[in-house]
Structure 1
Amino acid sequence: MRRVSAEYDIVVCGGGLAGFAAAVAAARMGRTVCLVQDRPVLGGNSSSEVRVVPRGSTTYHAYAREGGVVNEVMVGERMRNHEPLFENGWANSVWDLELYDIAQRTENLTLMLNTIVSSVDVRDGRITSVTGWTHSAETETELRGQVFLDCTGDGVVGALAGCEYRSGEEARSEFDEPHAPLEASEDTMGNSLHFKTKDVGRPVDFELPEWAVEYTDPDFFYKQGRVPNDVRGGFWWIELGKPWHSIHDNEVLRHELTRHALGVWDWMKNKDPRTREATRNLALDWLGQVPGKRESRRLMGLYLLTESDLVRGEPFEDEIAYGGWNIDLHTPGGMLAPTSEPTAAAGYDLHSQASVTAYVGPFGVPLRSLIAKDVTNLLMAGRNVSATHVALGSVRVQATTAIMGQAAGTAAAVCLTKQVPLQDVPAVAIDDVQQQLLRDGCFLPNVRNTDADDLARSARVSSSSQAAYLGASPGDRWEDGGLREHVRRGVSHLTALRAQWIPVRCGPGAPGLRTVSVLLRNDSDVAVEIPAWLRNVEHIWDYRVDTGSPLAETVLRAEPGEHWVPWQVDVDVSEPGVDVDGVRYLRLDLAAAADVEWVRAGRVLPGAVSAFEMTPGRMRRFGDGVTMSHRVEPAQHVYPPESVARGAARPHRAPNAWRSDPGEPFDQWLRLDWPQAQEIRTVHLNFAGHLLREYDRTPTLWRDPQTVRDYTLQAWTDAGWTDVLPVRGNGYTRRVHVLAQAIRTTSLRVVVHATNGDPAAALYEIRCYAGAP
């Protein structure tokens, strides 16, 4: 056996999406980083070994897709992967390679695979080193560092360091959590094993091994929340936990899960009348050998996230990430329990008690929940963060843990660069962490760009054209590139109150909103009267039905058949409202009328989505993010060029985007002008795209049509406009261009030659810096 040692600024233990994002973020900030992973591939539960599709806030909230490193991975993987996405079982080695490629291209990052953390050295309340055992090389490595990150999922580093941790369920009375059980227990959510099938083009048999579990009762599947909807495989509900321990009995669980997974396939293939025909030509192609784990240890930090924090109205001052997955608490025991996860057991009825009470977010996550309280130089990210069992039900999903990981890695780098004790960072250096996260493509709902070094913030911004907001109709064409959604197109009956967000110009000189019209289809034989309201809202995730006194209200009359129904609202929006930069949202609400359909538009207008009242007083996103048919007069110019330097890089309190006139041909350009010459070395571009719907809605080899494909950076010189950097074939939303040498100019522009399909050029944000990153 060989013994070696090495020293780094930061040591990240655990190579799932949280640890990966943490390591990449810290290394890109110039710190030396070692990423230690106990498996041969990166990605943890998302890897080809486990195959859990990364999910996050966009499953429930429009324009909530996680940014930063994890978005870079998702976008890159879809551009290169021929494999269709479907829930749990989809991944192949292209995903693994995308992660590995980024790691290999990241300067300052050392990757140690197949290495298990076996011991931790703590002196005077501070971790000095961790020791890793690389079994494939028979090498023991002592890794010394200044800051350590526990992204192991099981909290291995923290546990070995003697940190306090929790496991199991807290009693409801401890933190007054409605979702907590009356009595505390050691029960955790279970582990899952997935499988994948392949269509071989001819009938193929499957014989259940004698040692596997046989299923014969259809009620187990169809009345207990275990419906095999996608016959290709997957199924999160192939899950076991109680009575086994999620850590110590992991190998037992692996064998038990194999027995049950094969039993499920046997049921689908040989017994279930609903799936037998559909699976006739399907052969078992892959069966997981590594269980995907949901919960084990949770290390205690400077702050314990509880259920109340998932619905709080006041933002955290140390907000560094956000969550928006529902409170997804799987039933202890999994397949041995009477029913599966509660919302599944309720048939995914969006109005059920389980769905209503579980719907949360987006909510902020504080940095203090990522900093261990018992040692002075340890952060954690992933499912081992400082949270109760209930709060973990929301923040445990992989896209959320990835942005928490990026925040942890960023905080670790800031701690060292600013020479601030780690546990003091939330109080004295949080602005540095937050601004770096925004600079690196992350989004924080309650933080805007105030970066003093960003030269674009002081520029006058103009453009070749800008799109006018007129509304949308069923016949409108949308270049979506195959982006999928779950709700069937055109089914939009007003079974509950429905709302449409409408962006408007505001402030002095704003034209106001004179008329709003909606397209209604009345399926009955008599006219139906529908109360309607026009309200102020704070942002696109403002789901309160009552947001204060309405700006206008009326009763619309829907005659039998399909008709545009106008409403003269005459609303004055000369007051700036919540967005002082000239654009804000109003919301049009229509009361329930079961016989009437508010016809869906044929496209999604950027930043203009809809919702429905899922429970009295509270709304939920309608579909996967859709626009209802409506028209506004006069036209609203809500995609102005100055949006790109407004401080927010996605739709939130406003659409926050420049969009060119789709009726004008390319080239289109966006221009920055300064009164004095500026020296520019680095340009950040955040193009539109990839934020509306979840990752698994995207097809193979996909590029978002909204994303700019071909463009040129130009600078004004004595010779006129001069090409600085031509870019062709782009598919990424975020590009950081470090120029070969700095340019000095009074004007810079981005000339868009083509998108990946959309008729308009669109940009969320541009940043300019004098130096290199």
Structure 2
Amino acid sequence: MNINPSRRDFMKVAGATGLAVSFANNGFSFELNRLPLQEIENPMRRLKPFRAPKRPVQEAVPGFLWIDAGQFDSYGGWELDTFFTDLAAASGYLLANRFIGPPVDDAVTTVNIPESGRWHLWVRARNWLPEHSPGQFKVLVNGKESDHVFGAAASDQWVWESGGAYELSGGKTELRLQDLTGHLSRVSSLILTRDETYRPPQDRDAMLQERARLSGISLLPADRGNFDVVVVGGGPAGVPAAIAAARNGCRVALIHDRPVLGGNASLELMVPPNGAARHETFDRETGIIEEIRCEGCIHSPRKDHGKVSYAMEFVVANEPNITLFLNENADKVTTTGNKIRSVESHNTLTGERSVYRGETFIDCTGDGWIGYYAGADYRFGREARSEFNEAFAPEEADKKTMSGTLSNGATKDGYFYYVVERKKPVEFSLPKWGVKIPNPERFMDKRKGESAFNIGASWFEYPGDVDDLYGQEEARDYLYRIVAGIWGFFKNHWADKEKAANFELLDIPTKLGMRETRRLVGDHILNQNEVENAELFEDRVAYAGWTLDVHHPDGVMGYERFTAYKRVPVNHIPYRSLYSKNINNLLFAGRNGSFSAIALGAVRVEVTCSSMGQAAGTAAALCKKHDCAPREIYKRHLKELQQQLLKDDQYIIGMVNEDPEDRALVATANASGSMRPETGPENVNNGIARPFEGKPNCWESRPLSEGPQWVEVELPKPEKINAVYLAFDTGLSQRWMKMATPEIEGLVKSYAVSCFDGSEWHTVAADRKNYQRRVICRFQGLETKKIRVLVEQTYGAPTAKIYEIRAYNESA
């Protein structure tokens, strides 16, 4: 992996030398190269504390000093929020959040006053709820308190407020932000000026221009280069998309607007990864997302959902074809006709701009921003029932979407909010700005409160007509009020309120995890009936198995939790739902794919999104290979796409390995012995690498207590082989989110791969601490007739299982 040089303060990049594990046998050697774990920075370090890189405050224009709040020397108890820099906030800002207790500690910085005299203070702040002005603060200049209270303006928008005038001596001056409430006070920037007639521009775009003028930031984008594939969004869909494209020969830019990878599943939000394995036996998704799961179980110091960020960064760091750009919010697209030429971004911490040119683009933003900026067709809200004859759709189309949910995985033990149990009852009075739950006597009719009152719940939601696309900051604030109201309900109105009597709410999260906004339109829009009937699309490239789960648009203002909640069979996602109908070089993956609002309920969860991402990234690589647009992959290269996905361990239901380059596919399989007739060696090259329709599709050895066990494939004639692909057992019947380690008992831990050249065996690969399902052993080419896998140890099971052996002579 390469890294944007300007972002080296957020990720340490390993040097060119990897961690080489070398083996030799009969003069034949091979290496397994990986970056040392200690060379990859712990992503939690970028979140505790999360802060902007220091930039000296300078007098770029005589008589003016621009100070971004993120540039303060110490944040105190304030935290840096950069979630909404592409919206009204326009830049990162400091946020004071302490629901219970005294206001947060002061943020403090020192600036150098170039000239003694009278300086006028302006502060950009927001009163997020003018009816009550919950978030108020003052500014102290050299210890002198401003007369003005910020965060109490009549407007609910970001505005510049005058903080008065101060006689300042040349030299160092201390500025201090003094929170008064703890209830989401916020400040983005301050200006000190000698010009008493000066008034900062209130308009967002004009403000950005003024920021550049007064701080010396250039708004000319830095050229980050030309890429084969540009992936925007580093969440569950975007990371596998980038990895798939890179591994299939593309130079990839991965652009992400947060400091860590993972999206909703990241350290920041920690929404539990889910997919098809929630209900169905042996249906957990494989491929890149299974590799990420196994890496997280090994390399993450966390055993909760936060391991996703660690794992994704570890895998990305080991991909030399990926250049990762963190804290970059893509906000502009340049097109020629119906083709994207470049994407521009602003850095959420510094405001500096970058441009990335590419051939194929993949929108994994979740909100479809790249498609939107490019002019792609899209949908927002629910389709009318008549369009697809969907039973769960409304009679008339509307603009309602599923609510987001607040979470704060990186900083608190809580998930939806943070409560503690005390030794005696704790009273709670709902603040005036909190939302009162309507008809509390009916509120819990269809909701579960036993676990919700002490950890929160996914049904902590605002109504579906809240604008959480362009008004995400406002949506977050409204949900903050709702969560306070729900806590007030549990403490004072719940029928079982005695269960919550000793609990105290300490913190409400401020990070908004989204479920649904814009959906881009492809050549096919997946609908409810196709999900329920498990339509067997010819162009299927991934599958889903989550419940058809559409949250009710009334949120907590109504009594129903769901518009639709129905268990559906494992169903299929067509490739035509992953590329744009009208932008020639645009693919997409994740919740902004081409689905109806109802069908989205079944395909929106993270692990399913990851499978879409791998499919989109693989398709992008084929676009490069064949010099064509994504639609042409469907028309002319569909089978190649599907076979490549199977080779890369992404299962496509009902499809088998037909790769003509796989020499093991025509081989004869033999073994030292098998546990049962149905688990014989012939399963390792039968074309199916997982249990399916009641058949094990694996070789299961005799007990290892009898000695090491082996299975081999004998080719029809000697051929040159330089790569062997293996698939082991990582327990595909278990849910992704429930697995703290990859080391299920049946996983092969210690194995060796050997090739027979006609006179002797050569060990070409070995691993004594394997923890992956898909293992690729690459080595110097060797003319061979037989390939043998010797198993010495599992993680506890008496027998070993191998689902697949492939053999290739791959080109460099």
Q: TM-score, normalised by structure 1?
A: 0.71
Aligned partner letter, 1:768: A
Q: Which of the numbers 357, 370, 389 marks the counterpart of 1:144? A: 357
Aligned partner letter, 2:358: G
Partner-residue secondary structure (3-state), 2:661: coil
Shift in CA distance, 418/222, structure 1 to aligned 2, threshold 3 Å: same
1:22 positional shift: 0.5
Match of 2:74 in 1: none
Q: Which of the numbers 470, 476, 480 marks the counterpart of 1:258? A: 480
The question of 1:19 aligning with 2:59 is answered no
Aligned partner letter, 2:476: R
Check the 8 A contact 1:221/1:227 in 2, yes or no: no
1:80 positional shift: 4.1
Match of 1:587 in 2: none
- Cα distance in 2 for partners of 1:275, 1:717 equals 75
- Alignment length, in residue pairs? 583
1:339 positional shift: 1.9
Partner-residue secondary structure (3-state), 1:759: coil
Q: Which of the numbers 777, 781, 792 marks the counterpart of 1:737? A: 777
The question of 1:154 aligning with 2:193 is answered no
Q: Which of the numbers 288, 313, 320 marks the counterpart of 2:509? A: 288
- Cα distance in 2 for partners of 1:435, 1:176 equals 34
- Cα distance in 1 for partners of 2:280, 2:309 equals 27
Q: Which of the numbers 734, 757, 771 marks the counterpart of 1:693? A: 734
- Cα distance in 1 for partners of 2:405, 2:427 equals 22
Match of 1:648 in 2: 688
Partner-residue secondary structure (3-state), 2:642: helix
Match of 2:65 in 1: none
1:737 positional shift: 1.5
The question of 1:58 aligning with 2:98 is answered no
Match of 2:465 in 1: 243
Q: Which of 1 and 2 has higher RCO (CA within 8 Å, sep 6+)?
A: 1
Partner-residue secondary structure (3-state), 1:329: strand
Q: Which of the numbers 514, 519, 542 marks the counterpart of 1:298? A: 519
- Cα distance in 2 for partners of 1:209, 1:678 equals 75
Q: Which of the numbers 606, 617, 638 marks the counterpart of 1:430? A: 638
Q: Deviations over 1:137-161 (max 9, x none)?
A: 4321111110111111111111111
Q: Which of the numbers 382, 387, 399 marks the counterpart of 1:174? A: 387
Check the 8 A contact 2:405/2:514 in 1, yes or no: yes
Aligned partner letter, 1:746: K
Match of 2:222 in 1: 4
Match of 1:405 in 2: 613
The question of 1:97 aligning with 2:310 is answered yes
Match of 2:202 in 1: none
Shift in CA distance, 742/230, structure 1 to aligned 2, threshold 3 Å: farther
- Cα distance in 2 for partners of 1:660, 1:272 equals 57
Q: Deviations over 1:701-725 (max 9, x none)?
A: 4522111111111222566444322
- Cα distance in 1 for partners of 2:809, 2:468 equals 51
- Cα distance in 2 for partners of 1:227, 1:258 equals 19
- Cα distance in 1 for partners of 2:726, 2:419 equals 42
Question: Which has the higher mean CA deviation after the structures are superposed, 251-260 or 8-17?
Answer: 251-260
Match of 1:580 in 2: none
Q: Deviations over 1:624-647 (max 9, x none)?
A: xxxxxxxxxxxxx21111111011
Shift in CA distance, 219/667, structure 1 to aligned 2, threshold 3 Å: farther
Shift in CA distance, 220/250, structure 1 to aligned 2, threshold 3 Å: farther
1:412 positional shift: 0.7
1:217 positional shift: 7.3
- Cα distance in 1 for partners of 2:230, 2:698 equals 38
Match of 1:485 in 2: none
Match of 1:315 in 2: 536
Aligned partner letter, 1:4: A
Shift in CA distance, 447/184, structure 1 to aligned 2, threshold 3 Å: same
Q: Deviations over 1:558-605 (max 9, x none)?
A: xxxxxxxxxxxxxxxxxxxxxxxxxxxxxxxxxxxxxxxxxxxxxxxx
Match of 2:327 in 1: 114
1:771 positional shift: 2.0
Check the 8 A contact 2:671/2:710 in 1, yes or no: yes
Q: Deviations over 1:182-218 (max 9, x none)?
A: 1111111111113643898964858566243466977
Shift in CA distance, 295/748, structure 1 to aligned 2, threshold 3 Å: same
Q: Deviations over 1:291-344 (max 9, x none)?
A: 1111111111111111222134652121111112121111003112222125xx
- Cα distance in 2 for partners of 1:173, 1:664 equals 63
Q: Deviations over 1:105-164 (max 9, x none)?
A: 112101111111111111121111111111324321111110111111111111111111
Aligned partner letter, 1:335: V
Match of 1:225 in 2: 447
Shift in CA distance, 704/271, structure 1 to aligned 2, threshold 3 Å: farther
- Cα distance in 2 for partners of 1:175, 1:745 equals 56
Partner-residue secondary structure (3-state), 1:8: strand
The question of 1:709 aligning with 2:749 is answered yes
Partner-residue secondary structure (3-state), 1:259: helix
The question of 1:771 aligning with 2:793 is answered no
Q: Which of the numbers 242, 264, 267 marks the counterpart of 1:48? A: 267
Q: Give 5+ residue unaligned stretches, structure 2.
A: 1-216
Aligned partner letter, 2:541: I
- Taking the TM superposition and a 5 Å limit, the aligned residue runs for 1:564-579 are none
Q: Which of the numbers 668, 673, 693 marks the counterpart of 1:460? A: 668
- Cα distance in 1 for partners of 2:497, 2:778 equals 54
Shift in CA distance, 336/382, structure 1 to aligned 2, threshold 3 Å: same
Check the 8 A contact 2:730/2:743 in 1, yes or no: no
Partner-residue secondary structure (3-state), 1:166: strand
1:231 positional shift: 6.0
Check the 8 A contact 2:535/2:571 in 1, yes or no: no
Q: Deviations over 1:56-84 (max 9, x none)?
A: 11112111111111111122222344655
- Cα distance in 1 for partners of 2:235, 2:442 equals 33
Q: TM-score, normalised by structure 2?
A: 0.68
Check the 8 A contact 1:682/1:772 in 2, yes or no: no
State percent identity of aligned pairs.
Answer: 34
Partner-residue secondary structure (3-state), 2:706: coil
Match of 1:619 in 2: none
Check the 8 A contact 1:731/1:756 in 2, yes or no: no
Check the 8 A contact 2:285/2:608 in 1, yes or no: yes
Check the 8 A contact 2:419/2:507 in 1, yes or no: no
Question: Which has the higher mean CA deviation after the structures are superposed, 742-751 or 441-450?
Answer: 742-751
Q: Deviations over 1:721-753 (max 9, x none)?
A: 4432221111111111212x1222221211111
The question of 1:132 aligning with 2:345 is answered yes
Match of 1:560 in 2: none
Check the 8 A contact 1:715/1:745 in 2, yes or no: yes
Q: Give 5+ residue unaligned stretches, structure 1.
A: 86-90, 343-353, 469-636
1:763 positional shift: 0.9
Match of 1:365 in 2: 573
Q: Aligned-pair RMSD on alpha carbons?
A: 2.5
1:466 positional shift: 1.2
Match of 1:601 in 2: none
Check the 8 A contact 1:270/1:276 in 2, yes or no: no
- Cα distance in 2 for partners of 1:727, 1:256 equals 53
1:266 positional shift: 5.5
Shift in CA distance, 219/228, structure 1 to aligned 2, threshold 3 Å: farther
Match of 1:728 in 2: 768
Match of 1:683 in 2: 724
Q: Which of the numbers 336, 339, 345 marks the counterpart of 1:123? A: 336
Check the 8 A contact 2:273/2:606 in 1, yes or no: yes
Q: Which of the numbers 277, 283, 294 marks the counterpart of 1:75? A: 294
Shift in CA distance, 216/313, structure 1 to aligned 2, threshold 3 Å: closer
Check the 8 A contact 2:362/2:588 in 1, yes or no: yes
Q: Deviations over 1:211-259 (max 9, x none)?
A: 4346697755531324342666241111113331121221111112222
1:678 positional shift: 2.2
Aligned partner letter, 1:338: Y
Q: Computing the radius of gyration over CA atoms, which structure comes out larger, 1 or 2?
A: 2
Check the 8 A contact 1:225/1:341 in 2, yes or no: no
- Taking the TM superposition and a 5 Å limit, the aligned residue runs for 1:586-597 are none
Shift in CA distance, 682/275, structure 1 to aligned 2, threshold 3 Å: farther
Partner-residue secondary structure (3-state), 1:132: strand
Check the 8 A contact 1:189/1:333 in 2, yes or no: no
1:99 positional shift: 1.3
Partner-residue secondary structure (3-state), 2:550: coil
